[in-house]
Amino acid sequence: MTPLARHLESIASERGFILTGFASLHRLDERAGFFSRWLAGGRSAEMGWLAKAPEKRLDPRLIDPRLRSIIMLAWPYTPPRIPDIDWRAELRGRIAAYALGPDYHDTVKARAGAVAAALAVARPGSVTRVYVDTGPVFEREWAAAARLGWFGRNTNLLNRHHGSYFFLAEILTDAEFDAPAEPYREHCGTCRRCLDLCPTGALADGYLLEPRLCISYLTIEHRGPIPRAMRPQLGAWIFGCDVCQEVCPWNSDAAAAAPVNDALAPSLADLLALDDDAFRRRFAKSAMRRAKRRGLLRNAAIALGNSGNPAAIAPLAAALASEPEALVRAHAAWALGRFAASDDARAALERALMREPDADARAEISLALDQTP
């Protein structure tokens, strides 16, 4: 490692990054065919930005011809450890641990920017571009190239000492850096826990993830109705999913040491009652705002329906009666249909059918009524 690289690694550590790596830029020829097939198969779904500028993703030098290297940084976050509760009895949802606290995009980018500033001081005139889950960059591929870890079967980047509970940031620069000669060895072995325990079967052999089956995609990026067949599979998840990380042996030590965090399991009834102003106040600085109010309340309605707890009927009926978003009303209707034996659920659905102006929501109400005796 060069003196400049060691200096930047020290600065990164002072700023809270747990891993720092370097690699020279080149075209990722080994990913070109896979990415082309991935896009052709429609796997970008509603994430249209992934299909933009594919060549820039494969070769970051096309972003700026002056760029020569990449500095990869890993920022840790606290692994999930939920309270010992019965979520069905208490009507509590689940959110992915990374979404807690201030939006990581802002926090991590500011810290990475400080490392880029240190490079500019040490090497005046340096060109730098800082990204955190933004821009046309294959983050995990470059993190692997910089020897931060290996691709796990769950498609996350894994590190022997830190598991996968970290965000990636990258600094593209015209400074010259090289990666260590030896790749980071793969350590998944014969373990298949992430594949076998994924609630929706989104993971497959060959390090493949089908986003359209992934709970994280469905609860965050997908904007319309959740496919009816998949709603029961979401369980209590209302924003993201940690299952493929929770079951990974390389994360077990970190998870065991993590503090219990009640915020990982918020009240579903409280969420379903949020109006626009309350949503903005609660999630203005959170990554959870990405799902938007209508998406988060849609997800909360599904989780209430999955709970099997009759106490969910009252908040669902209230949403069906007064919620301004048709998408949320439609999913509240589906959830009420899960309580087939309840007179209260049926009465709420019948009242809603008489006044529902939206065709899709009305169809959901009719289907829900067909499920009740």
Q: Which residue has the tokens 């594919």?
A: 54
Beta bridge partners of residue 167, listed in sequence order: 75
Q: Is 185 exposed, middle or buried (0-12, 13-18, 19+ CB in 10 A)?
A: exposed
Q: Which residue has the tokens 């009816």?
A: 228
Q: Exactly one of 84, 103, 106, 133 is catalytic; which is it?
A: 133
What phi and psi, each to the nearest 5 degrees, are found at residue 206? 90, 20
What phi and psi, each to the nearest 5 degrees, are found at residue 174? -90, -5
CA pair distance 80, 304, nearest whole angstrom:
21
What phi and psi, each to the nearest 5 degrees, are found at residue 71? -110, 120
Q: Which two tokens stand for residue 94?
A: 């689940």
Closest CA to 65 of 74, 56, 78: 56
133 is catalytic: yes
Question: What are the b/e assignments for 352-361, b being 16+ CB within 10 Å?
Answer: bbeebeeeeb
Enumerate the active-site residues: 133
